[in-house]
Amino acid sequence: MKKEITFREKDEVTMNLLHYFVTQQNYNPVIVHGVSDEIWLENMGQDYKIIRIVSRYIHNNEQLKFDLYKCQQIVKKLRVKTLSWKMPVLNIYVDLGDSVDLVDKTNMIKNVFLPNFKNIKKNYLKEAFPDIDEKTKHSEEGVDLFVKITEDINKKNYRDSNRLSKIFAKKYPFVTYAIIIICVVVFAMMYIFGNGSTDNLTLLSFGANLDVAVINGEYYRLFTSMFLHIGFIHLLFNMYSLLIIGQQVESFFGKWKYLFIYIFSGISGGLLSICFTHNTISAGASGAIFGLLGALLYFGYNYRNYLGNVIRSQIIPIIIINLIIGFTSTGIDNFAHIGGLIGGIISAMAMGVPDKSSKQDRINGFIVAIIYIVFVGYLAFVGI
């Protein structure tokens, strides 16, 4: 006996909304455990970070109140997971009782009732998403509509999967290996052509950072000092850190953007160092490496749906622990670390995160980078 599959009007509304937000507005499904008859979608680049489509019947205000309370609790968890200060939510209800009073209880949650698309032009959704009426018109109905929507969403998910695979795929770290080789060769040369890596005159002759020398015109030291190291342990620790962190950042940003981030961060660290550290020779790649951590932090924030746990459990603790060690130990130029960290975040903004940063975001990043360098340069040469 053949059975016919029938779709209720609210089912077609739900399918149309899902299709629109996923394929037209680039929202992605969020897996939320313990919920039923509702769909959660996220896009951190939109005004409404979360779209929630509720298809179950809400028959009175008490049930609505409980539903909104549950929504708020889930949003709190998502904010922690995605490191978001604010997370505006658009609740779309497709089946409400006549006695339900749908009002907004909080500025962060907007509630909308959409039983059908007949009067969509009078609905708030039209104001928030001007093309929604046009993009939700389909000639298909029932099973045919379900098949079309499923196919379109699967195609979009396939494209997204391929795109993310390319971004997160491990790539050969040419630049990282080249920097390590340069640092090791320079370290050896200090022993071959000088008195070793711990000798002050040798360090200065090879381009170590010193505030008096830089202020008097030897600006190259801001660049050369990031390839010098004081002692074998210093070299070993920095090269190991560079190997671990550098290849990851190079993989995410690409070799040329990575090289810019590294150099900008090293110079930024050197500038901040001479602002606050006087008559002291400093050298090392640690300022640039902190910049790579800053770039990794910026990248992870933009991909926080995928790397939110990594940011909280690994990147931020590493940064904090190393800064604490720098402030509580002698012989560590912590201002170079801080300057490098700031420089890494800013230069990552200027270079842009693959598939996330717009042209305007990158322009803003370059503007911030110029303002920052001018400001720190002023402090270094004039202000302090």
pLDDT tens profile 361-370: 999 999 999 9
Q: Is residue 101 part of a domain?
A: yes
- Percent of the chain at pLDDT above 70? 98
| pLDDT for the residue 1 | 47
163 and 179 assigned to the same domain: no
pLDDT at 114 over 70: yes
Task: List Cβ neighbours of 81 (8 Å cut-off, separation of 6 or more).
Answer: 304, 305, 308, 309
H-helix or E-strand spanning residue 18: helix 9-23
278 and 179 in a single domain? The answer is yes
Task: Please tell me the predicted confidence (pLDDT) of residue 326.
Answer: 83
Q: Is the pLDDT of residue 3 over 70?
A: no
The DSSP code for 197 is T
Range of the domain at 242: 172-383
Last residue of a domain, one of 139, 167, 195: 167
Residue 4 domain flag:
no
1 falls within a domain: no
* Cα end-to-end distance, the chain, whole Å: 88
What type of residue is 50?
I
pLDDT for residue 29 is more than 50:
yes
Assign residue 305 the CATH number of its domain: 1.20.1540.10
Beta strand pairing call for 89-93 and 28-29: unpaired
Label residue 384 by pLDDT band (50, 70, 90): low
Residue 2 pLDDT greater than 70, yes or no: no
- Final residue before a domain boundary, out of 167, 186, 215: 167
Say if residue 256 is in the same domain as residue 150. no
Residue 6: pLDDT band with limits 50, 70, 90: low
For residue 291, what is the DSSP state?
H
Alpha-carbon gap, residue 296 to 253, rounded angstroms: 9
The verdict on 179 and 135 lying in the same domain is no
Please report the pLDDT score of residue 234 as a whole number. 94
Residue 355 backbone class (left: φ over 0; alpha: ψ -120 to 50; beta: rest): left
Q: Residue 115 falls within a domain, yes or no?
A: yes
Residue 162 lies in a domain: yes
- 163 and 296 in a single domain? The answer is no
**Distance in angstroms (rounded) separating the CA atoms of residues 176 and 255:** 9
What integer pLDDT is reported at residue 139 of this predicted model? 78
Give the least confident one: 61-65, 103-107, 128-132, 212-216.
103-107
Q: How far apart are CA 196 and CA 191, in angstroms?
A: 4
| Mean confidence (pLDDT) of the chain | 90
Any idea what DSSP says for residue 122?
A: G
pLDDT tens readout for residues 58-96: 999 999 999 999 999 999 988 888 878 889 999 999 999
- Domain membership of residue 105 (yes or no) is yes
- Give me the residues paired with residue 52 across strands: 40, 91
Q: In total, how many domains does the chain have?
A: 2
Mean pLDDT within 369-374: 95
Distance CA 67, CA 38 (A): 11
pLDDT in tens, 150-208: 898 888 888 888 888 888 888 899 999 999 999 999 999 999 999 999 999 999 999 99
Give strand pairing partners of 89: 50, 109
Q: Which among 140, 167, 194 is the end of a domain?
A: 167
Same domain, 26 and 89: yes
Q: Classify burial at 173, counting beta carbons within 10 Å of its beta carbon; exposed 0-12, middle 13-18, buried 19 or more.
A: buried
Is the domain of 76 the same as that of 181?
no
E-strand stretches of the chain: 28-29, 38-42, 50-54, 89-93, 109-113
d(CA 269, CA 267): 5
Helix (H, G, I), strand (E, B) or coil at 102: coil
> Predicted confidence band at 7 (pLDDT cuts at 50, 70, 90)?
low
Residue 125 predicted with pLDDT over 60 = yes
CB 267 within 8 A of CB 227: no
Are residues 279 and 362 both part of a single domain? yes
In a domain, 349, yes or no: yes
Q: What is the pLDDT of residue 242?
A: 95
124 located within any domain: yes
Residue 376: count other Cβ atoms within 10 Å of its Cβ: 21
State whether 113 and 212 are in the same domain.
Answer: no
Residues 312 and 331 sit within 8 Å (Cβ to Cβ): no
Residues 199 and 329 in one domain: yes
SS3 169: coil
Q: Are residues 78 and 138 in the same domain?
A: yes
DSSP code string of 226-268 = GG--SSHHHHHHHHHHIIIIIHHHHHHH-HHHHHHHHHHHHHH
More confident residue, 70 or 105: 70
Query: Rounded to the nearest 5°, which phi and psi values hold at 230?
Result: -105, 95
- Does residue 181 share a domain with residue 140? no
What stretch of H or E contains 78? helix 61-82
Residues 5-30 have a mean pLDDT of 84
